[in-house]
Amino acid sequence: MTLILGIETSCDETAAAVVENGRWLRSNVIASQIDLHAQFGGVFPEVAARAHIEAISLIVHEALEKAGVTLDEIDALALTRGPGLAGALLVGVNFGKGLALGRGLPIIGVNHLEGHIYSNWLTEPEREIVFPVLNLIVSGGHTELVLMTDHGTYQLLGETMDDAAGEAFDKVGRLLGLPYPGGPSIQKAAQNGDPMAYDFPRAMLDEGLDFSFSGLKTAVMRAVRPPQTGKRVAGVESMKSGEMRPDISIADVAASFQAAAVEVLVKKTVQAAVASDVTEILISGGVSANGPLREAMKQAAPIPVRYPPLSLCTDNAAMIAAAGYYRFVAGQRDDLAMDILPTWPLNELLPYNGANGKG
Ligand code: KG4
Ligand code: ZN
């Protein structure tokens, strides 16, 4: 049995988890800073770093305790090395290095996006994952279609040209005066809305596998904002939260926006999956929590679709530990001098050998 302790502090969750053999969750502890950042309508980097420092020690000990293990039973530490906020990443990586130094444990630097991918290895662990698979990673910072032919072997097939899908949900949520983060708020508001009330653009729908969400966001802004007077026409960023025409149905706008975003995500993912002849589609990242996205993907895909339980969609350390496990068994050991990589594209990871290519 191999036990990996994962630590994740790349954005606004302080998280630690223990995972057995890369697929079985022993504990998964998350301290969310959402309440702290809600007042700013987004993540405030300095505030995030300080909150990580305050929480990290307690969270790591809680993860060990809930797993019923001590550090002596842990085989390696998997630490989120990037991408993410520099000050936030440093807290988790430095804390992990301290533990590793004190206990003589190996550390493994993990890419946060690779982590999201591996959240699906923790999903129905008894059902094998057979390569090749297609990953749709949809989070607050990324929208990527990634073909995976083996553990650690990735080919980027498409990505967003501007805003990430989650970012679009967050910005539209703010426009509509809904609580942060926008994703869950929009899904909730959309329940009572008409998805066909507004014909919002489906950008680049028939143009390859890249995405664009900034036009959709702008179209929503044009539909809801009060008539503009004066010379300067304000952009989305400068529009105040909830500054809308009084006759707007928030539910209809939310439902129509969500329908447009989901349609593009589903169509391109299915197209990529069929073209690359994969066995399964894996959806991950915060936006994979979206109910209509999950349902529409299952409806449209001619192959199985897997997505994590809600607790593993948004940022967590279990996914980092799972990804770290496959690197551990392949022999990866990082130096204690390992630095953080705040901008670290997934396709710049080095492939590795050793794992057998099966989940
Ligand atoms: O993966 P994540 O926790 O953090 C990043 O790595 O970015 O993703 C957070 C994103 C936010 O943009 C949030 O609005 C979105 O995931 N999100 C959702 C839902 N739940 C979270 N978007 C749509 N529908 C949801 N139910
Ligand atoms: Zn994430």
Q: Give tens-digit pLDDT for 146-165.
A: 999 999 999 999 999 999 99
For residue 142, give the ligand 1 atom closest to its CA. Answer: 7
- Residue among 178, 314, 320 whose CB has most ligand 1 atoms within 8 A, to mutate: 314
pLDDT value of residue 354: 39
Residues 148 and 117: their CA atoms lie apart, in Å, by 10
| Among 321, 275, 267, CA closest to 118 | 321
Q: No. of H helices and E strands in the chain?
A: 11, 10
pLDDT in tens, 225-252: 887 655 555 566 666 666 788 889 999 9
3-state secondary structure of 236: helix
Looking only at Cα atoms, what is the longest distance across the chain?
A: 68
- Whether the CA torsion 322, 326, 331, 337 is positive or negative: it is negative
Would the pLDDT of 183 be above 80? yes
pLDDT in tens, 108-138: 999 999 999 999 999 999 999 999 999 999 9
Average pLDDT of the residues in 281-287? 98
For residue 165, give the ligand 1 atom closest to its CA. Answer: 12
Contact status, residue 82 vs residue 341, Cβ threshold 8 Å:
yes
- 218 CA from centroid of ligand 1 (Å): 20
Residues within a 6 A CB radius of ligand 1: 11, 139-141, 166, 169-170, 181-184, 187, 285-287, 289-290, 314-315
Contact status, residue 128 vs residue 100, Cβ threshold 8 Å:
no
- 314 CA from centroid of ligand 2 (Å): 6
Token pair 């991408």: residue: 83
- 116 CA from centroid of ligand 2 (Å): 6
User: In the chain, what are the domains?
Assistant: 3-123+311-348 (3.30.420.40), 165-307 (3.30.420.40)
- Residue with CA closest to ligand 1 atom 14: 183
For residue 181, give the ligand 1 atom closest to its CA. Answer: 14
- Residue among 287, 310, 343 whose CB has most ligand 1 atoms within 8 A, to mutate: 287
- 233 CA from centroid of ligand 1 (Å): 29
pLDDT value of residue 240: 65
Residues 350 and 327: their CA atoms lie apart, in Å, by 11
Residue 143 vs residue 225, higher pLDDT: 143
Residues 249 and 152: their CA atoms lie apart, in Å, by 45
pLDDT in tens, 340-350: 999 999 878 77
E strands in the chain: 3-8, 13-20, 24-32, 76-82, 107-111, 133-138, 143-150, 153-159, 280-284, 305-306
Average pLDDT of the residues in 12-27? 96
Average pLDDT of the residues in 66-95? 97
Task: Using DSSP bridges, classify how beta strands 153-159 and 143-150 pair: parallel, antiparallel or unpaired.
Answer: antiparallel
What is the chain's mean pLDDT, rounded? 92
- 124 CA from centroid of ligand 1 (Å): 22
Contact status, residue 290 vs residue 260, Cβ threshold 8 Å:
no
- Residue among 14, 169, 311 whose CB has most ligand 1 atoms within 8 A, to mutate: 169
For residue 289, give the ligand 1 atom closest to its CA. Answer: 26
Contacts of residue 19, Cβ cutoff 8 Å, sequence gap at least 6 = 3, 4, 6, 25, 26, 122, 318, 321, 322, 325
- 247 CA from centroid of ligand 1 (Å): 29
User: Quick one: what percent of the chain has pLDDT higher than 90?
Assistant: 83
- 228 CA from centroid of ligand 1 (Å): 31
Would the pLDDT of 185 be above 80? yes
Contact status, residue 80 vs residue 334, Cβ threshold 8 Å:
no
Q: Which residues pair with 111 in a beta bridge?
A: 82
What are the distances in angstroms from CA 121 to CA 54, 80, 244, 267?
Answer: 30, 17, 43, 24
Side-chain half-sphere of 160: how many Cα atoms within 13 Å? 23
